[in-house]
Each structure stands twice: as structure tokens, then as C-alpha cells.
Amino acid sequence: MKDKIRNILREHGKLAQDALSLLDEADLYQAGMTSHASVNVMLALESTFDIEFPDRMLKRNVFESIRAIEGAVTELVSGLSSKPAGAR
């Protein structure tokens, strides 16, 4: 999963350094990810993992590091049944 997340960050994160060499806990905003880039990262995560971030997760800290993203994606992938019907 982390590799997929790193690839998404490399493509959409507009980071100043290669996402493949970032530490899991590195602050992505410090690394250059803008607010608009974080929206694109969020949308790419949704299509890659076939998930939908609920409103409560559309927050700055959910996307602040690879570890935080992994935690959020894991929660959504494991709780697929709780996805609202017809949401996609």
C-alpha cells in the first residue's frame, strides 16, 4: 500500500523531493505539497483504492504524511461495508 501511496504522491503531490525517498512520517506540506495538490492526491487515492473519503476525513492532518494517509486508507478499505449505498 505504501508503494502505491508513494507513487500517487510522486504523480500528484508536487513535492520538492522524490516521494519514493520520503520517510513515512515526513510532513508532506513541509515537503511542498500545496492545498490544491492535496486535493488531487485525495482524488487519486479514492480511484486507486476504490474508496471515498467521508467529510470528516477531508482534513489537513489526514493527508499530512504517508503514515497518516496509510492509516486513513486502511480504515476505509477495511470498512468497505460502511460505505454509503449509491455513493459512487
Contacts to other proteins by CB under 8 A:
34-36, 38-39, 42-43, 55, 58-61, 63
Residue closer to other proteins, measured from CB, 20 or 43: 43
Angle at which helix 66-78 crosses helix 35-49, to 10 degrees, equals: 40
Backbone angles phi, psi at 23, to 5 degrees: -70, 155
Cβ at position 52, least distance to other proteins in Å: 9
Residue closer to other proteins, measured from CB, 21 or 56: 56
Which residues contact residue 34 at a Cβ distance below 8 angstroms, ignoring those fewer than 6 apart?
A: 14
Cβ at position 57, least distance to other proteins in Å: 9
Residue closer to other proteins, measured from CB, 10 or 29: 29
Q: How far apart are CA 75 and CA 22, in angstroms?
A: 22
